[in-house]
Structure 1
Amino acid sequence: MNLSVQLGPLRLQNPVTVASGTFGYGVEYARLLDLNQLGAVTVKGICLRPVRGNPTPRTAEVTSGLLNAIGLQGPGVDGFIRQYWPFLRQLRVPTIINIWGTTIEEYAEVARRFDQLEGVGALELNVSCPNIKEGGAQFGTDCRLLARVVAACRKATRLPLITKLSPNVVSIVPYARAAEQEGSDALSIMNSYPAMAIDIETRRPRLANGVGGLTGPCIKPIAIKLVYDAARAVRIPIIGMGGIQSAEDAIEFLLAGATAVAVGTANFYAPRTALEVIEGLQRYMQRHGLTDVRDLIGRVDMPGAAGPAASENTCTPAESRMQQ
């Protein structure tokens, strides 16, 4: 039974990784599961300098989901290399490093720094960050900014690039195509959905930051639809994520067009979920007489399905303005 998949130049022994921000830097989970059984380890976001993150409370449970506003806390490039890379470098599976910045130049510099670090599997670009030079517009919700940051990182590194797209757009298609056209080797779909919860007794937001990102089972149908739309529009592989709690959830993403999947929020309450997904996927394949996991990718039977509308094919100035 072949479970291996390709994310551009990056080979995974199976199609299951973990979502950035939900698995720390791998070392935190090493006592709970064998990391070498995963397809890859994806670590929390890294920028040039250390970041303290947002005040607490940073998380709040909601119906079928989790709100979080961690604030991209992290040790910076130097701190990550010093504190965590010696451990990650010893793993037999690749490490995908999530990176971010507040300017295009910062993204490119982080990519350049990791390009010089031996053994990195791939870089995942977190484009759901505001560009301080462009009036706070998010890279991931402005087609032109997205294209520029992917192009800059592509120029700065030879490592495989995975662009993690924002769900906060009218259509995912032009953003997926912009990332592909500028050299992204794969896509991650999706990032958390902007959301809010209020404590009715105090009449204050339940997060100190006021608003945060919604993750967990409640966003899975949205994520599957975005993966399906993007998969019909681009040729590069997709890592699907959003609310995966079981092998059945993961298989939905594969059928929708994802080449791989990432377990996120479930890591907080069931740390072995990713391994259970791999085991359940194998059982499903045996039950259906499948010998290659790639035979599942994009095999949803969608009556009357058509390709993306012509108006969705490219980024337009109007689309960028709508997102701002």
Structure 2
Amino acid sequence: MSANAARIPGPVMNAAGCGGTGRELAAYGDLSALGAFVTRTITLTPRTGGSMPRVVETPSGLLHAVGLQNPGLDRFLATELPWLVRQGARVVVSIAGESVVEHAELARRVGQSPGVAAVEVDLAEPDPPAWGLLETREPIASALVATRVISSCRRELPRDVPLLAKLRPDPVRVVDQAYGLLEAGVDGLVVGHALPALMPDGRSGALSGPALFPVARRCVAELAAAVPDLPVIGCGGVGSTADAHAMLDAGAVAVQIGTALLHDPTAVHRIAAGVGGDRRHDTGGAR
């Protein structure tokens, strides 16, 4: 197990992109009471995001095409990160790039910034080419790119900053991906992300929410059995304290709350309070 495993925040945090800048979520609870606050995914340059409508409700969850709207790294480091640190939040910065070099630069500059508890590399965007991002999904060639991304980020990060990789919930391939990323220097995995989908008007989009929960939980269980020394954070359709317990019982060291926050902005604090009162999962953030 990596020496950084004990530094991975937990047991309950928001998912990337589902807590706004932090100011929005802070209106509903103390950010320092969470295992961590995960930022929206930050890219090197600003992104205006996708066209409207960006979010459409369906019976199984949410269809969305946000397009990683964010202010870019410079503005994030100058404004959003310092504010989060002043709130006492343990900040996990989510990053995504258009190349291996961009990922390395993002990791280097974020890792040098005070108050960063961990870096989460988004390797699971449902349709990377549509958003101009580096393709890191299967087949094999893309999986090799993902290991290069993680290896380059690990080299640029301070040794005491945990490096997380966010993967799509794919029970067939997730264990093989984990082996490669572990060798590249990853300290933990976040599983999973939204699945590729189409918006009603035919645009590329993604599906997240309750429909993903059984699939993401299966991925967590597969990883816990195959790579027991690699901490896994369960993400995908967690909407209640019972869901969080189920994900933790499957082998996760922590959970992230995403889509549920868009319906109930108190969800992450409510679930954190529920899980925090259950001593079964008082693991200190590590297996």
Superposition TM-score, scaled by structure 1 size: 0.79
2:96·2:133 contact (CA, 8 Å) conserved in 1? no
Deviation at 1:128, TM superposition (A): 2.8
Distance in 1, Cα, partners of 2:128 & 2:101: 10
Cα distance change, pair 279–27 in 1 and its aligned pair in 2 (3 A):
same
Distance in 2, Cα, partners of 1:232 & 1:163: 19
Cα distance change, pair 100–279 in 1 and its aligned pair in 2 (3 A):
same
Give matches, 1:283-298, under 5 Å: 283=277, 285=278, 290=279, 293-294=282-283
Distance in 2, Cα, partners of 1:292 & 1:281: 7
Deviation at 1:18, TM superposition (A): 0.4
1:128·1:138 contact (CA, 8 Å) conserved in 2? no
Deviation at 1:291, TM superposition (A): 5.8
Distance in 1, Cα, partners of 2:241 & 2:134: 37
Give matches, 1:75-114, under 5 Å: 75-114=71-110
Deviation at 1:34, TM superposition (A): 1.2
Identify which of 203, 217, 234 aligns with 1:224.
217
Q: Which has the larger radius of gyration?
A: 1
Distance in 2, Cα, partners of 1:58 & 1:42: 21
**Is 1:32 aligned to 2:25, yes or no?**
no
**Is 1:144 aligned to 2:144, yes or no?**
yes
Cα distance change, pair 166–174 in 1 and its aligned pair in 2 (3 A):
same
Cα distance change, pair 281–118 in 1 and its aligned pair in 2 (3 A):
closer
1:227·1:253 contact (CA, 8 Å) conserved in 2? yes
1:165·1:176 contact (CA, 8 Å) conserved in 2? no
| Residues 273-323 of structure 1, C-alpha deviations (whole Å, 9 max, x = no match) | 11211232245x3xxxx465349x99xxxxxxxxxxxxxxxxxxxxxxxxx
Aligned to 1:315: none
2:13·2:34 contact (CA, 8 Å) conserved in 1? yes
Cα distance change, pair 184–114 in 1 and its aligned pair in 2 (3 A):
same
Match of 1:51, SS state, is coil
Deviates most, 226-235 or 245-254: 226-235
Cα distance change, pair 160–216 in 1 and its aligned pair in 2 (3 A):
same
**Is 1:66 aligned to 2:66, yes or no?**
no
Deviation at 1:248, TM superposition (A): 0.3
Match of 2:151, SS state, is helix
Alpha carbon RMSD of aligned pairs, Å?
Answer: 2.4
- Given residue 176 of structure 1, which amino acid in structure 2 is its aligned partner? A
2:171·2:218 contact (CA, 8 Å) conserved in 1? no
Deviates most, 122-131 or 174-183: 122-131
Deviation at 1:71, TM superposition (A): 0.6
Deviation at 1:171, TM superposition (A): 1.6
Cα distance change, pair 136–71 in 1 and its aligned pair in 2 (3 A):
closer
Identify which of 251, 262, 271 aligns with 2:245.
251
Give matches, 1:207-218, under 5 Å: 210-218=203-211
Match of 2:40, SS state, is strand
Aligned to 1:307: none
User: Relative contact order, CA 8 A, sep 6+: which one is greater?
Assistant: 2
Distance in 2, Cα, partners of 1:85 & 1:168: 32
- Given residue 282 of structure 2, which amino acid in structure 1 is its aligned partner? V
1:126·1:165 contact (CA, 8 Å) conserved in 2? yes
Give the percent of matched residue pairs that are identical in Structure 1 and Structure 2: 34
Aligned to 1:306: none
Deviation at 1:189, TM superposition (A): 0.3
Identify which of 277, 285, 309 aligns with 2:271.
277
1:18·1:41 contact (CA, 8 Å) conserved in 2? yes
Aligned to 2:226: 233
2:170·2:215 contact (CA, 8 Å) conserved in 1? no
Distance in 2, Cα, partners of 1:252 & 1:181: 29
**Is 1:18 aligned to 2:14, yes or no?**
yes
Distance in 1, Cα, partners of 2:121 & 2:96: 6
**Is 1:52 aligned to 2:23, yes or no?**
no
Match of 2:69, SS state, is coil
Distance in 2, Cα, partners of 1:154 & 1:26: 26
Distance in 2, Cα, partners of 1:230 & 1:50: 35
Distance in 2, Cα, partners of 1:38 & 1:7: 19
Aligned to 1:185: 187
Distance in 1, Cα, partners of 2:282 & 2:133: 41
* Unaligned stretches of 5+ residues in structure 2: none
How many residues align structurally? 275
